[in-house]
Amino acid sequence: MSTTFKFGKVRSFLWPIHSSELKKFIPMILIFFLIAFNYNVLRAVKDTLVVTAPSSGAEAIPFIKVWAILPMALLMTYIFTKLSNKYSTEKVFYIMMGIFLGFFSLFTFILYPLRDLLQPHSFADQMQGTLPQGFNGFIAMIRHWTLTSFYVMAELWGTAILSVCFWGFANEVTTVHEAKRFYSLFGVGANIAGILSGEVAVLLSSKRFFSFIPYGKDAWEQSVLFMALTVLATGFLIIGLFRYISKKAINLDEPTISQVKKPREKISLKKSFSYLGRSKYLLFIALIVLSYNLTTHIVEVVWKNQVKSLCPNPQDFNAYMGHVMIYTGLIATPVALFLSGNFLRKFSWAFSALITPLVVLITGVCFFTFFLYRDTPSALKFASFFGSTPLILSVFFGTMQNTLSRASKYTLFDATKEIAFIPLDKDARRKGKAAIDGVGSRLGKSSGSIITQGFIIIFATLSASAPYIAFLFLIILGVWLISVVALGKRFNSLMSHKEKITLQEEPMQVTDKLSEKELKKYFPFAKANKKDKVKK
């Protein structure tokens, strides 16, 4: 079938795939789906293992992210770069998959069953008797090094396999014409994978112990086995599908994404700040991205600490995390399909961009209110009115905050962020994205863990740190909201004049005009300047 055939409105929205493309599209979306499925299963298990381990808790997470994940991410980047310089993309994918599946096999059959023999409990006890209480999270990271290693590899799965290996391969084998239709459906596949992985996490968090299975001392250890085997089986299926598409389904007659798309520029933090210092427009975008990452990371640790108080049993904790993944997928999928596009078409950029911080603010305030005032008569009375407890309501609002912030991140937040780059000229857009990736994303994620770690060291526990984390949360939200409003004013001014801007000046100067077609396509809400109107 010719790929020049035009789809109807319904099919172009739901299934814009030609029958001749199915042999490539089906295995590609299955690979993406299975990688996302594994990522979500691993995310639930890694949190459960670390948070519910003896002498451990959510306070260990910031220490793991700073002292274990960060250096391992650098090492993984080095390994990937060396492999990419020596082997083809296909071989690199197999080697990287082999590294991860090899580790998960090692963990499942050696490290986890023998963890009590391998972990330095005596040394950790000595550290606990010497160091202040605020270092308990750091000590837990060392004490449970086998679980820490699993947490690190589970976290890196999303970066190394999904973001780097899969998208690198997809851009090599997908034409520009195909990518415009394929990639949007990949996002829907990821949301569905989140729902299914949540169901699997709940299903496998069984409290039933099977005595005929020669593994584990209790039901939870067998649950870890079942989930690990699921990840391993899915991993081998991914390799099989990858092999098929590499050998059978690639027939390129058009330029691919990697051939027409310039490599994403990476710049140092020093250069990032230099670029952002030249333009308030870029600075506001960076503050928005930084604020999202900071609020997400500082609230998430406190919330997981509360979930542990509500669900101290690992099966219950893992099942709860599974339900969170289900809710996130159920919310994100319809929002991505039906709401986000309509918001962007019918309302201003600022209105659409304000939705995410307002959702985070409202749910975050409710979460911290019930957490900080859980023992007051008012909180007890309010909770009893709903037949609940302050702890349950605190966890509920924390779950709402986590679920809605992630759902809005995958839909409105990312969309409005990308649209904000359009008034920049090509050079400013390229360098600006690289700078914001350095300051907003990388610095935001690591800074959130460093800040939380600092509070825990100073105030000894997460509960004692919570008031200060809540205060910081409100300050960051204030910066986020102010940045959106300020950026919205500049954005609307530029769009009404159909202007594009550069990095060389502040205030911004016009370098070229947006076409009328480009303006109407992306910004139907933007008002044209009266001077630009042509009288017929």
Q: What is the pLDDT of residues 290-319, one digit of tens each?
A: 999 899 999 999 999 999 999 999 999 999
The DSSP code for 536 is -
Give residue-wise pLDDT tens across range 80-103: 889 988 988 889 999 999 999 999
pLDDT of residue 123: 96
Fill in the amino acid letter for 88: S
**Neighbour-count burial of 419, counting CB atoms closer than 10 A to its CB (0-12 exposed, 13-18 middle, 19+ buried):** middle
Give residue-wise pLDDT tens across range 132-177: 999 999 999 999 999 999 999 999 998 889 877 887 788 777 776 7
Question: Please, are residues 240 and 233 in contact by the beta-carbon 8 Å criterion?
Answer: no
Question: Please, are residues 194 and 325 in contact by the beta-carbon 8 Å criterion?
Answer: yes
| Distant-in-sequence, close-in-space partners of 31: CB < 8 Å, separation ≥ 6 | 166, 238, 241, 242, 245
The pTM of this model reads 0.85
pLDDT of residue 533: 43
pLDDT of residue 505: 41
Least Cα distance to 494 among 438, 431, 428 occurs for 428
- The residue assigned the tokens 């809540």 is 470
- In angstroms, the CA 271 to CA 497 distance is 30
Least Cα distance to 406 among 314, 299, 247, 513 occurs for 299
Give residue-wise pLDDT tens across range 238-294: 999 999 888 875 654 444 444 445 555 555 656 666 767 778 888 898 899 899 989
Fill in the amino acid letter for 456: I
Of 358-372, 392-406, 418-432, the one with minimum mean pLDDT is 418-432
Domains along the chain with CATH numbers: 16-261 (1.20.1250), 264-536 (1.20.1250.20)
Structure tokens at 233: 């089986």
Structure tokens at 199: 């169901």
- In angstroms, the CA 62 to CA 75 distance is 19
